[in-house]
Structure 1
Amino acid sequence: FDRYVAICQTLHYAAIMKQQLCSHLVGAVWVLGFTLSSYYLVLLSKLTFCGPNKIHHFFCDNSPLFKLSCSDTNLLWKADSILISFVVLGSLCLILVSYMAIFHCILHMPSASGRKKAFATCSSHFTNLAIVYGSCIALYAQPTEEVSLETNRIVALLNTV
């Protein structure tokens, strides 16, 4: 939203991006993240473990944790898929819609130097988004029973970095 306002509503940026709006946007993201994580943690707390207690991963990710559990994890796999789809793909769609509007504004700029500056402003952010969302989708959007833990670790490392 900040990039959209900065590029498409340049003269109104200070009037739109006030402290109160920024606080509301950050608060909404925190509340949504906390709510979704809390629901998921309740489901995770019901897992039982009866075998090895070492996770061969960089952090306590879902799929290695599910594989260590001796309880039925079908509900958790489904909840994980729905949660990841909602959070990752939903936020990716919002970002892509805003970038389509940004690119539309950039392409209609009268000066070539203005277009070049606007593209330069967005290119690093767009590259970062491609790396983060690409690794998230590679890590979480495929059936995780079929993915080896080593592949999962490599992609998780890319995502973390």
Structure 2
Amino acid sequence: MSFDRYVAICQPLHYAAIMKQQLCSHLVGAGWVIGFTLSSYHLVLLSKLTFCGPNKIQHFFCDNSPLFKLSCSDTSLLWKADSVLLSFVVLGSLCLILVSYMCIFHCILHMPSASGRKKAFATCSSHLTALAIAYGSCIVLYAQPTEEVSLETNTVVALLNTV
């Protein structure tokens, strides 16, 4: 979506030529393939866990942290895999989006008309708000060291992320 905004704001006359159906399909397909591949790998690691004791998770959904706390087996590999996934997927995509928006803001600041700048900022504001909520809650949920994870905090932040 940030690439679409970039092309719409910084290359408006070339928008139809750049954002063709084929490019949009490739972007969506790449996102799905990467997400499915990484989730499948993580699911394989989760399926190897053993559980003993309580089987109720105090959470809205079966999230990693509460699930790891219920496991009797060693979860250090899963914590490391989560860290790698967070770094690669969340922070990597966030960096790409931020680079795109830095280019957009550079273009906006060099627009000659104030009404054009206002319209461009209005176009981006809702997307930036959604990004801040989604990425902020993801980073709060998954970037904490294992000993600092509070299930109560995770539950509230997960609710914000879900909503």
* Bin of the TM-score, shorter chain as denominator length: over 0.9
Supply the RMSD in Å over aligned alpha carbons: 0.7
Q: TM-score w.r.t. structure 2 length? A: 0.97
Alpha-carbon separation, structure 1, partners of 2:68 and 2:127: 33
Give the secondary-structure state (helix, strand or coil) at the position aligned to 2:58: coil
CA-to-partner distance for each residue in 1:70-122, whole Å, 9 max, x for gaps? 00001111111111111110010000000000000001111111001000100
Contact 2:109–2:117, Cα closer than 8 Å, also in 1:
yes
Shift of 1:145: 2.6
Contact 2:65–2:149, Cα closer than 8 Å, also in 1:
no
Give the secondary-structure state (helix, strand or coil) at the position aligned to 1:110: coil
Could you list the runs of 4 or more consecutive aligned residues of structure 1 that deviate by over 2 angstroms after TM superposition? none
Shift of 1:124: 1.0
Contact 2:49–2:71, Cα closer than 8 Å, also in 1:
yes
Shift of 1:144: 3.3
Give the secondary-structure state (helix, strand or coil) at the position aligned to 1:22: helix
Give the secondary-structure state (helix, strand or coil) at the position aligned to 2:107: helix
Give the secondary-structure state (helix, strand or coil) at the position aligned to 2:91: helix
Give the secondary-structure state (helix, strand or coil) at the position aligned to 2:147: coil
Unaligned runs of 5+ in 1: none
Show the counterpart of 1:143: 145
Q: TM-score w.r.t. structure 1 length? A: 0.98
Give the secondary-structure state (helix, strand or coil) at the position aligned to 2:131: helix
Contact 2:137–2:160, Cα closer than 8 Å, also in 1:
yes
Shift of 1:54: 0.9
Mapped pair 1:43 → 2:45: yes
Shift of 1:50: 1.1
Give the secondary-structure state (helix, strand or coil) at the position aligned to 1:130: helix
Contact 2:49–2:73, Cα closer than 8 Å, also in 1:
yes
Of residues 130, 133, 137, the one that matches 1:131 is 133
